Structure 1
Amino acid sequence: MANVTFKGNPVTLLGNEVKVGEKAPAFTVLANDLSEVTLEDSKGKVRLISVVPSIDTGVCEQQTRRFNEEAATLDNVQVLTVSVDLPFAQKRWCAAEGIENLQTLSDHRDLSFGKNYGVAIEELRLLARSIFVVDSSDTIVHVEYVPEVTTHPDYDAALEAARKAK
């Protein structure tokens, strides 16, 4: 399992760590209108999945803004941001910040994504900051479990993986 800390303190991640080359695990999360969204819904596209603990915090805001800007330049790539924030909070935040090029998804209901991708933080009921790139045939082609939840991911590596994926 990935060794992850939150503000320097080790945390327990629930679920199994996913690795490059594996089939992407299925998940069910909620869109801002409370409809269910699954991995299957974006089949045939490359998915860049940006995972943040809470959209209303500094690093999470910056990460989401960065991928929103980059999403406009990516062909056949769907950018998804997953957190445990309520769908209503995600919708309000996106409207206030002008986020239009990516989809925010809530894993608050049952941590389906968090547990299936090994990023649910047991002690906090938040998701650990991470990035996953899934190709159009549902294979994981890039994984980053950010070692310290309060720091930024490697944006360039994730974007390069998304651009190269088919």
Structure 2
Amino acid sequence: MIDRYTELLNTFDEITAFEWASFFHDNAARIDTLVSLFEGYNRTVMNTQAKRLRELKRLIRNITNDDHWTDMEGLELTYHHFNPPLHIRGSFHSGVGNALATFSIEISTPTIQAWNHYEDQLINHYTNHEPVIMDNKTILHIATLPGEQEDRILATLMELHFFISSLSFRTFSHSLTSH
């Protein structure tokens, strides 16, 4: 059955608008069923990933003793409380039959100036990947880990958080009271 759907996808460019109109008219109910199945599959994957990200957020907040971790509505785990600005992002990617197949971690800086502050230390410490520079933004892939290996994910996030914390400037809030 999957082969037939793959074949259908491969022929999209070869079919005229009139042929598509006929196909859609003749197969509307079956297409609706396929779309519903696909939407249900995506919903299941997204819900599984969101639930797991919320749990990772809770755990990494405890490990780092830092409540600035967020989960971006279950789409990705993020931390962006560094100065100069640098963002840690982590997200799950699904595989066949596994909503949590892999977990990717990357960092990004929104400006060249921020990247320049961290560049030497990051390049020396994380040697597996080259940074990708797009306009002013720089992205460095840190790791892709098996999604079920919670300990490795948390250890990588913790180490990354502590390492970048050691490179960033601390912003201290002064008390408004005089005691």
TM-score normalised over the length of structure 1: 0.28
More helix by share: 2
Higher relative contact order (CA 8 A, sep 6+): 1
Instruction: Report which of the two structures shows the higher radius of gyration computed on alpha carbons.
Output: 2
More strand by share: 1
TM-score normalised over the length of structure 2: 0.27
